[in-house]
């Protein structure tokens, strides 16, 4: 596919631009001096460049760093998992992160409108927005549960430290020592039963239905959404100001918790267990699969949030530096969070005289809301303080991530409907998010969360990640991306980035997607829930052919030749594609025309490969 821009249908007269004092007026003037269309309003910008970097840190560092990374590393070889994870970060995570930053900043467009670069592929952005909406609906309920625990931390006695008389076979979480059990039923810690019975009123499975939500959690959900809406209601400038607190303050708490965790009895054994490599796991394909998946969801790439945040950047902001700093900081945070969690877990194993540390660790939300509270309840000194610090940190990093998720959706809507006020879009998204979020706070809600996360987030995101990379690297072209970077930042792109964008990263992503389908197992739930999951996936994927057909038919006529021309044209950038600033965009379009005039005609696939990747 040639990476040319069709501008013949909407030529912009340079003299008209020169005579106009208003660049928006110039943007709306075509070659014959008439008004072509109503101009889009100028996009809001970050107050300072550092606010963009801090917001990306707050967005990328979230729940996945605190609970998913430590457990995934433990399950896949401990310290040996760090080796494939760092390799994947270097070859997949960071290149995608940098690529999305570049494209968002260059075009000043969100995840849907960015496909002005290839209108036939606009369904990718719509599909990613569907995935982001699914994530948004369950992310805030987890934030609500976190806030519930934060409030409970200020009790005179931690409520999960003691058993309720109605809980059978329960052991107080503040009990220090080995539990001798001669019964056939294994005793359960009060922290585990508190989460399941008092907080979630959790059903054993979805065969028991969803049930009704707990009113306390609904109020916590309302509070969480009020926090999100308050920060976003005035646009990107207000969220930029909040980023100073959301990105920096959690590290103050993380440092306190890390120092305290290292001083606990048995902490070294837990951290050693977390970091000690099991070298035989390096040859396990599953470990590499988990490393790529963790990298995707830890950095939050291919969801649309990075593109949305970068679209509010100044045109010349050094996103290369930001991408390097944020990707390494995200990995560092995951490792430190793992040391904190397993330091505390090591102490839990020590005080309960449990030899197998893995036996006291639970996966996912259980690690955060069961294992960690159980360990905190056993602290000798001020368990309420460290509980409050931990859940405050978790609430802040979760809030920062949720702002990025919500901003992506708000940006996608405003790009398509610029006449809407920011507060209107934010309010509508918040109301929708709150309404859908209530279902996750029901007794069966956590089981439903796993299903929708699996189909609506994981599968949809990996599928569109493949399509996004194919579109940017081979339809738009790595060569054109590199020229755009040179035009925007004045720097040459090295062969490393070209090879990653064009070959390595797409192939790895395709392999991971195929492995995820090969390893597919339906959930053991009523069949309707698996059907719902596949329905969401299919609806998201069908956005691609649907929007492609719309782009083709929008300008085609009844003749076959014209239809074929419209098909090809729908894969090329729109006439208005380029930088937001009109004089800059006109200069850019001149450079594109000059370059295309010198490009020789491709005679073979190898010529296409060389031109797209190396020219």
SS3 per residue for 524-572: CCCHHHHHHHHHHHHHHHCHHHHHHHHHHHHCCCCCHHHHHHHHHHCCC
Residue 363's pLDDT is what? 63
* 300-335: burial string, b at 16+ Cβ within 10 Å, e else: bbbbbbbbbbbbbbeeebebbebbeebbebbbebbb
User: Facing residues of 29 across strands?
Assistant: 35
Q: Return the pLDDT at 4.
A: 47
How far apart (Å, rounded) are the C-alpha atoms in residues 532 and 52?
Answer: 37
Give the integer Cα–Cα distance in Å for 601 and 599. 7
| Cα–Cα nearest to 86, from 294, 397, 274, 279 | 294
Residues 6+ apart with CB under 8 A from 606: none
CB of 292 closer than 8 Å to CB of 88: yes
Q: What percent of the chain has pLDDT over 90?
A: 56
Give pLDDT, residue 559. Answer: 53
353-372 as b/e, with b when 16 or more CB fall inside 10 Å? ebeebeebbbebbbbbbbbb
Residues 602 and 477: beta-carbon distance below 8 Å: no
The pLDDT value recorded for residue 65 is: 83
Specify binding-site residues for Na(+): 61, 65, 298, 401
Query: Distance between the two ends of the chain, CA-based, in angstroms?
Result: 15
CB 485 within 8 A of CB 493: yes
User: What is the β-pairing status of strands 170-171 and 188-189?
Assistant: parallel
Residue 437 CA: distances (Å) to CA of 54, 136, 446: 27, 8, 11
Q: Which residue has the tokens 């922290």?
A: 191
- Which residue ranges are tagged as binding site? 61, 65, 298, 401
Residue 82's pLDDT is 85
Tokens of 202: 């959790």
Phi/psi at 188 (nearest 5 deg)? -125, 140
Into which CATH architecture does domain 49-519+531-553 fall? Up-down Bundle (1.20)
Please, which residues have CB within 8 angstroms of residue 218's CB and are 6 or more apart in sequence? 438, 441
| Residue 556 confidence (pLDDT) | 65
| Residue 73 · residue 358 · CB < 8 Å | no
The pLDDT score that the predictor gives to residue 286 is 83
The pLDDT of residue 277: 79
Packing angle, helices 478-489 and 605-614, rounded to 10: 20
Q: Yes or no: say if 420 and 414 are a contact pair by the CB < 8 Å rule.
A: yes
Q: Which two tokens stand for residue 458?
A: 């994981």
Name the nearest CA neighbour of 184 among 194, 165, 169.
Answer: 169
Distance CA 188, CA 78 (A): 26
Measured CA to CA, the distance from residue 188 to residue 112 in angstroms comes to 48
Please list the ranges in the chain whose pLDDT falls under 70. 1-41, 177-185, 358-366, 556-561, 602-604, 607-609, 611, 614-615
CA distance 112 to 600: 32
Distance CA 334, CA 397 (A): 12
**CA-to-CA separations, 390 to 66, 81, 157, 252, 532, in angstroms, rounded:** 10, 25, 16, 11, 35
363 vs 343: CA distance, rounded Å:
16
């Amino acid at each position: 596919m040639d990476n040319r821009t069709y501008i013949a249908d909407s030529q912009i007269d340079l003299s008209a631009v020169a005579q106009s004092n208003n660049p928006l007026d110039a943007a709306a003037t075509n070659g014959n001096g008439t008004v072509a269309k109503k101009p889009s309003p100028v996009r809001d910008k970050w107050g300072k460049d550092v606010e963009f970097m801090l917001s990306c840190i707050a967005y990328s560092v979230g729940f996945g760093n605190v609970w998913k990374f430590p457990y995934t590393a433990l399950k896949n070889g401990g310290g040996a998992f760090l080796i494939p994870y760092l390799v994947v970060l270097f070859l997949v995570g960071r290149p995608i992160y940098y690529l999305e930053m570049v494209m968002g900043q260059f075009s000043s467009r969100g995840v849907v409108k960015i496909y002005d670069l290839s209108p036939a592929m606009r369904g990718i952005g719509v599909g990613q927005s569907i995935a982001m909406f699914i994530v948004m609906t369950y992310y805030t309920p987890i934030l609500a549960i976190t806030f519930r625990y934060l409030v409970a931390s200020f009790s005179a006695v931690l409520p999960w430290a003691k058993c309720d008389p109605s809980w059978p076979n329960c052991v107080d979480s503040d009990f220090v020592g080995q539990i001798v059990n001669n019964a056939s039923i294994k005793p359960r810690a009060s922290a585990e039963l508190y989460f399941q019975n008092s907080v979630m009123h959790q059903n054993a499975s979805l065969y028991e239905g969803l049930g009704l939500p707990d009113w306390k959690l609904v109020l916590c959900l309302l509070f969480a959404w009020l926090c999100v809406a308050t920060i976003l209601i005035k646009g990107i400038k207000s969220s930029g100001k909040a980023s100073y607190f959301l990105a920096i303050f959690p590290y103050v708490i993380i440092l306190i918790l890390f120092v305290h965790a290292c001083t606990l009895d048995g902490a070294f054994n837990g951290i050693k267990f977390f970091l000690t490599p099991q070298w035989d796991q390096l040859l396990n394909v599953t470990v590499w699969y988990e490393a790529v998946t963790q990298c995707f969801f830890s950095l939050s790439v291919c969801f649309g949030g990075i593109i949305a945040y970068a679209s509010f950047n100044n045109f010349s902001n050094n996103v290369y530096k930001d991408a390097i700093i944020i990707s390494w900081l995200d990995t560092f945070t995951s490792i430190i969070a793992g040391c904190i969690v397993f330091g505390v877990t090591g102490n839990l194993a020590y005080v309960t005289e449990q030899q197998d540390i893995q036996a006291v660790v639970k996966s996912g939300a259980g690690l955060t809301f069961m294992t960690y509270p159980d360990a905190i309840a056993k602290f000798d000194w001020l368990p309420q303080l460290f509980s409050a610090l931990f859940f405050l940190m978790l609430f802040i990093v979760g809030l920062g991530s949720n702002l990025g998720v919500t901003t992506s959706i708000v940006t996608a809507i405003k790009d398509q409907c610029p006449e809407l006020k920011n507060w209107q879009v934010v309010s509508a998204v918040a109301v929708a998010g709150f309404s859908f979020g209530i279902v996750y706070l029901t007794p069966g809600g956590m089981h439903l969360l796993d299903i929708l996360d699996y189909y609506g987030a994981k599968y949809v995101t990996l599928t569109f990640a493949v399509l996004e990379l194919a579109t940017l690297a081979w339809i738009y072209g790595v060569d054109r991306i590199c020229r755009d970077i040179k035009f925007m930042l004045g720097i040459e792109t090295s062969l490393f980035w070209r090879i990653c964008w064009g070959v390595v990263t797409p192939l790895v992503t395709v392999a991971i997607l195929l492995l995820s389908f090969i390893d597919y197992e339906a959930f053991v739930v009523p069949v309707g829930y698996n059907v719902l999951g596949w329905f969401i996936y299919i609806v998201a994927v069908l956005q691609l052919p649907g929007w492609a057909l719309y782009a083709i038919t929008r300008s085609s006529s009844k003749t076959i030749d014209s239809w074929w021309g419209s098909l090809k044209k729908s894969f090329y950038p729109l006439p208005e594609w380029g930088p937001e600033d009109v004089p800059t965009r006109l200069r850019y379009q001149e450079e594109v025309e000059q370059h295309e005039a010198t490009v020789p005609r491709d005679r073979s696939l190898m010529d296409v490969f060389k031109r797209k990747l190396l020219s």
